[in-house]
Amino acid sequence: MPVQQNKSQFDKVFSSWDILVIAFGAMIGWGWVVQSGDWIEKAGVIGAMLGFLIGGVMIFFIGLTYAELTPAMPECGGEHVFSMRAMGPYGSFICTWAIILGYVSVVCFEACAFPTIISYLWPGFLKGYMYTIAGFKVYASWVAVAVVFAFLITIINLMGAKTAAILQTILTVAIGAAGILLVVASFITGSPSNLDGQVFNGSTNGTIIGNIIRVAAVSPFFFVGFDVIPQAAEEINIPLKKIGKVLLLSIVLAITFYALVIFAVGYVMDAKSIVNSYSASGLVTADAMAKAFHSEAMAKVIIIAGMCGIVTSWNSFMLGGSRAIYSMAESYMIPAAFKKLSPKHKTPTTAIWLIGILSMLAPFFGRQMLVWVSDAGNFGCVLAYFMVAMSFLILRKKEPNMARPYKVSHGMLCGTIAVITSGIMLFLYILPNSGAALAPQEWAIAGGWYVLGIFFIIGCKAVYKDKFGYYAPLNAMINGKPVEGAAPAGKAAASAVWSIEKSLGREEAAADDIPAMSSDFSYFLPVNIHFGAGKVSEVGTLASAYGKKAMIVTGGSSSKKSGLLYKINGLLDQAGMSTEIFDKVTPNPLTTTAMEGAAKAKDDSVEVIVAVGGGSVLDCAKAIAFMAKNDGDISDYIFGRKSSAAALPLVLIPTTCGTGSEANGFAVLTDPATGDKKSLRTPAIVAKDSIVDPDVMKTMPKSVLASVGFDALCHCMEAFTARNAQPVTDALCLYAIPLIAENLVRLYKGDDSDEAWAAITLGATFGGMVINTAGVTLAHGMEHPVSGKVNATHGKGLAALTPVVIESEFSHNRLKFGRIARMLGGFTAEDCAGEVRNLLSDIDLNITLTDLGIKKEDIPWLTENCLKVSAGNIKNTPGSYTKEDISRLYEAAL
């Protein structure tokens, strides 16, 4: 089965300004030109402003969920990704299909709105009557202009995201300038007396409030557009945390813009003037501009600004809609042809052409038909908002430790409010006379859209089978330039360190120090490592050397969703091998799972084990290979009560750059009966072949990358400072530490270059090699009881413990801890823990044991278990540690 391309193919071109104008331009559109009079008539000037403020607050809470989820999952498709991760493929289909309806409907509507505005500017424009649809007369000139502009917008979007962003900037600035002119002029030439009789509309408090709510009920639909930002997340070139802030800023600016325009109109025109204008041209805002400047020509400025608003909405929603279609095609929910990207411009060409052709056809159906389509599309957007808000709550519950570069305070409360507000908006579409209720024609359009979606589900499941719902998280967002704040390797500062250290009386920790040569040592590691991009294609050739029947050991989902499992299965099949799949491995793998897999391997006469996954999968596969050739319980071998040198041959394919399990003879397992987390250690489980392919690492979510990358760094730091360290391991550690530290931060911040992936992957493999010989020390020894007790992610446990442990260790080996500090950007051994904390902050892992669920009352058990399962690690640590010392360190890490 072909493997989905996991690496992001989009160019990272959008700046903060670009995404701000894309979202803001989408939200302001044309409505402020044609509907301000209607809003004021309904609720009064201040009442309409309050209505928009209320609606804006409703949207703001929904925006908060987007602001957190977008930087956490900065991938093309936005809603598609959020709902996929929270609700699975069917929930994602419903959500994304809804937002696509919304985007496509707006694009088609704007294609009709554009020539309509021209008819306002040029009354003689309508020529060549063709026919009437739903009471709307369709003219040839009207259709021709719409088709030409639809074609131009399509071409602009095909030419690249940056080109579209430049157009968006020019037009949005024009709209903003026109709006500012109106507001400033109204303050100069307007009068408070114009507000008389139209501050609020209603004779009683009840009717006043009711009219405000009527405006509030429709106002959220004028804020649709901020959600375009997550659609283009892979193309954004700013720090992740800033994306959420820009998204929220766009909503605040839109609320402010609408409120000021409403006030300006009411301040410069009295109630009678607004009524007369609304019943005549309907362009109350344009007439207000003319009155503010005492010039009829200035009305055309507002109308032209309205035209710009049509194009900005048109442009934004074509961008967002094409990315949503692309993301569904990537998941094989619609035909895969729609994920085609232009080699030159990196735009989803098929998806853009689809929307473009629909927008060229739309004018032939007349404006009224498009009003129905647009209203049905608004319903789709609100349905998507509701599902995103639900996804926010689900992920807060299901994945509390997911990396969230922009994390909303009081998240569960905000998420609940977002669900309620979006739910209210949905209800308004159903409630008659709500001001937003769908007409029968609009329900027919929405229903027909989902009937079409059902056909796609059935058809794509039949064609693509298990690939339907495929999801490979893409981690990149920023491309090209070095990431700000990345830890330096220390060479730039090294020249000054010797004199500083010497003046401090710490000559032993100077920058040029080389660890003392051991008088004797041995190094043995019988693994054949095949390193490089694309090396995974060699798995069939390598595995077939050990037999004809393989068991593929993997986890429950990631290798399936990425398509890697199916590729490997196919390669083994091509090599003439039969396969069995064992996919029950979980994070922090259990001894019982290993025993179950071993029993299956024995029963099926398996000859070779092929493991595909992260460190947990590789460790479990090793234990399966070992117990498939041995009798008894695996715990006896883990605790040294039994020993053996027999195991099935192993071919390991790591998909995370962390544990280094592919390069050593360790397999860390947790006994569910006791909570003991300890490693099986024997040369028998060193892989015959390990395929280390940086390309297969690129599907990792950023939270996983941070965790496993820090684990790899800890392997090298601990092996370097361990009592069992020797020249070969020291040399590998000195090479690997800067590779991991620098590239982990770069990748987490979005660098995504092949060089960075290759560097961190190689560094992680070296980490596995060095701990095979030098071992790990106290931080790992203390972490195993933590993840054994609360099933915490191993790398997160290390993040909570390592700085605290280093603060207690560095004085026992100043030379080596000083060397690590300088590789991380510090100077002396005292700096080491602080530099580690700085790195953890850069990858959003600056956490405590309390964050992982550990309580103070757990410390006695953790301490006793550490002494039980990690006695070797404690002995390997520089310095001397008692039970009381370990207990104190656990408490310090809370």
Furthest-apart CA atoms within the chain: distance in Å: 99
How much is the pTM? Answer: 0.54
pLDDT level of residue 479 (50, 70, 90 thresholds)? very low
Asked if 622 and 685 touch (Cβ cutoff 8 Å), the reply is yes
pLDDT level of residue 516 (50, 70, 90 thresholds)? very low
- pLDDT tens track for 201-225: 988 998 999 889 888 877 877 888 8
Per mean pLDDT, which range of 154-158, 484-488, 824-828 is the poorest? 484-488
With a cut of 90, say whether residue 373 has pLDDT above it.
Answer: no
| 3.20.20.10, 3.40.630.30, 2.102.10.10, 1.20.1090.10: CATH of 483-513+701-894 | 1.20.1090.10
**Cβ contacts of 443 within 8 Å, gap of 6 or more:** 376
What's the token pair of residue 9?
């193919």
Cα(747)–Cα(479) distance, integer angstroms = 10
Phi, psi of 678 (to 5 degrees): -150, 160
- Average pLDDT for residues 710-728, to the nearest whole number? 94
Asked if 93 and 278 touch (Cβ cutoff 8 Å), the reply is no
With a cut of 90, say whether residue 115 has pLDDT above it.
Answer: no
* Chain mean position to CA 870: 37
What's the token pair of residue 593?
């799972």
- pLDDT tens track for 685-698: 999 999 999 999 88
pLDDT for res 471: 67
**Cβ contacts of 657 within 8 Å, gap of 6 or more:** 694, 697, 705, 708, 709, 712, 757, 760, 761, 763, 764, 765
Cα–Cα nearest to 220, from 378, 100, 97: 378
pLDDT level of residue 474 (50, 70, 90 thresholds)? very low
- Average pLDDT for residues 110-123, to the nearest whole number? 81
Which residue is it, tokens 């009411």?
Answer: 266
Asked if 623 and 663 touch (Cβ cutoff 8 Å), the reply is no
Cα(651)–Cα(702) distance, integer angstroms = 26
pLDDT for res 513: 40
pLDDT for res 3: 27
Cα(628)–Cα(608) distance, integer angstroms = 10
Strands 666-670 and 677-681: antiparallel
Q: Is 461 exposed, middle or buried (0-12, 13-18, 19+ CB in 10 A)?
A: middle
- pLDDT tens track for 312-361: 888 888 998 999 999 999 888 999 889 888 878 888 999 999 999 999 99
With a cut of 80, say whether residue 243 has pLDDT above it.
Answer: yes
624-638: buried (b, 16+ CB within 10 Å) or exposed (e) per residue?
A: bbbbbebeeebbebb
H helices, E strands: number in the chain? 34, 10
205: number of Cβ within 10 Å:
9
With a cut of 50, say whether residue 891 has pLDDT above it.
Answer: yes
- pLDDT tens track for 584-603: 999 889 999 999 999 999 99
pLDDT level of residue 519 (50, 70, 90 thresholds)? low
pLDDT for res 530: 93
With a cut of 70, say whether residue 200 has pLDDT above it.
Answer: yes
pLDDT for res 527: 86
DSSP bridge partners of 131: 138
pLDDT for res 849: 94
CA distance to 10, 416, 550, 646, per residue, from 629 (Å): 48, 54, 15, 6
Please report the beta strands in 74-140, taking only residues with DSSP state E, as ranges in sequence order.
Answer: 129-133, 136-139
Cα–Cα nearest to 99, from 117, 85, 79: 79
Cα(754)–Cα(657) distance, integer angstroms = 14
Ranked by mean pLDDT, the top range of 378-392, 511-525, 551-565 is 378-392
**Cβ contacts of 320 within 8 Å, gap of 6 or more:** 26, 78, 99, 103, 227, 228, 231, 232
pLDDT level of residue 9 (50, 70, 90 thresholds)? low
pLDDT for res 448: 92
With a cut of 90, say whether residue 883 has pLDDT above it.
Answer: yes
With a cut of 80, say whether residue 7 has pLDDT above it.
Answer: no
Sorted by where each begins, the domain ranges of the chain are 16-467, 483-513+701-894
Summary mean pLDDT of the chain: 86
443: number of Cβ within 10 Å:
17
**Cβ contacts of 229 within 8 Å, gap of 6 or more:** 19, 22, 23, 66, 70, 78, 236, 243, 246, 247, 250
DSSP bridge partners of 875: none
User: In percent, how much of the chain has pLDDT > 90?
Assistant: 54
Strands 129-133 and 136-139: antiparallel
| 2.60.40.10, 3.40.50.720, 1.20.1740.10, 3.90.550.10: CATH of 16-467 | 1.20.1740.10
Residue, of 76 and 581, whose pLDDT is higher = 581
- Average pLDDT for residues 399-427, to the nearest whole number? 90
**Cβ contacts of 248 within 8 Å, gap of 6 or more:** 60, 63, 64, 67
With a cut of 50, say whether residue 882 has pLDDT above it.
Answer: yes
Asked if 49 and 43 touch (Cβ cutoff 8 Å), the reply is no
- Average pLDDT for residues 103-131, to the nearest whole number? 85
- pLDDT tens track for 647-688: 999 999 999 888 888 988 989 999 999 888 888 999 999 999
Strands 608-613 and 549-555: parallel
Helix (H) or strand (E) holding 875: helix 871-875
